[in-house]
Amino acid sequence: MDCGLIGRKLGHSFSPKIHSLLGEYPYRLIPLEPEEVGNFLQKGEFHGLNVTIPYKKTVMEYCAELTPAAQRIGSVNTILRRPDGTLLGDNTDYDGFLYLLKSAGAQIEGRKALVLGSGGASLTVRAVISELGAREIITISRSGENNYQNLDRHADAQIIVNATPVGMYPNNGVSPVDLDQFPQCEGVFDLIYNPAKTQLLLQAQRRGLIWGNGLGMLVAQAKAASERFQGKKLPDELVTDITAKLERETKNILLIGMPGCGKTTVGKALAQKLGRPLADVDEAIVAQAGCSIPEIFAKEGEEGFRAREHRALVQIAKESGQVISAGGGIVTRPENRDPMEENSVVVWLRRDLHKLPTDGRPVSQSVPREELYRRRAPLYEAAAQVTVDNNGTVEDTVDEIIRRVMG
């Protein structure tokens, strides 16, 4: 049984990993250009396929039959080859988005909803929230009656769903809308799962809104598709278990703390034990600048160094599944907050002040350690999801981080 995913750009898809946890069948990524889709569907060898952007509508004309769900929604994300060789088009994105809303505790009935985007994913979103009783559903597109230039007409929106690729890796850090335009908003959902928290979701989280990303949806629709592929029902708890596993494996572990607290040493040992790559922000700065950090401070001052630090962090933190060692002062700049949070679990390494070295650390040499700690400790605490003491052995610290972060 040969299965796979077709789309145009698939390099960072989680689907092969998910399907490996759902059943024992080959599952491959099949990137196709638009002119290749028809020929592959007609002549390619496969038992079942998932379909992602931009082909969820394209594939419909090659299906001999559509399930009621695919007909109702008007897009296909799952294809089965039947015994006679013809293709059956189905839509399991419905199952996935329904799971996303329910797992987040969203209340849709009687609410006004904005759906950002008009592609195949948007069709699924609209079908689900319509059946859940939304009072009004407005589709926002780049042109047409309701577009991004007249959003003020819909300031009373209570539910917002991003069904566009805006903010998706590698173009992190941008958002299709500003939530400040929607004072009555209660919940925000983004079908993107890489990064884990898009700019839109970071803003929703800080406003205290209900929110959810597309990872649970991806797993739930994959489970539904796998049931079609295998011809059997799978346990519902698989969705929760696989989603949690993927979150643990894909999120970076980003270490922060005072200069000299052991971020580099612990980071190396942690990366080795987990089999992850290690990214050191200071090392990236030095490599780009072609000189040492004290030299950068001497030539450009702290402002110049912090600008370099931010650029390095943005590039490093958008990747997944790493251990990241960040500089001691990275928490002092508000612009670093978003890249630190979008894809990482932030761990504050604490170490007794008398154990902190100062050699080669310009800020530590210019400000007494006690004063520097007084200034930064609240910032470390605010930025971190996990705090671990690093006063024992490196091995003990690493084991504690793994226990606290990986479960």
DSSP code of residue 335: G
Burial of 297 (0-12, 13-18, 19+ CB in 10 A): middle
Residue count (the chain): 407
- Backbone phi, then psi, for 252, in 5-degree steps? -70, 155
DSSP per-residue string spanning 258-326: STTSSHHHHHHHHHHHHT--EEEHHHHHHHHHTS-HHHHHHHHHHHHHHHHHHHHHHHHHTSSS-EEE-
Instruction: Of 188, 183, 6, 221, give the one whose Cα is nearest residue 97.
Output: 221
For the chain, state the CA radius of gyration.
24
- Contact between 31 and 9 under an 8 Å Cβ cutoff? The reply is yes
- Residue pair 250/405 in contact (Cβ under 8 Å)? The answer is no
Beta bridge partners of 188: 160, 211
DSSP 113-148: EEEE--SHHHHHHHHHHHHTT-SEEEEEBSSSSSBT
Distance between CA atoms of 319 and 324, rounded to whole angstroms? 10
The C-alpha torsion from 306 through 308 and 312 to 315, rounded to 10°, is: 110
Q: ∠ at Cα 272 (267, 277), nearest 5°? A: 75
Residue 56 annotated to the active site: yes
Relative orientation angle of helices 120-131 and 93-104, to the nearest 10 degrees: 50
Of 56, 223, 251, 318, the active-site residue reads 56
* Catalytically annotated residues: 56
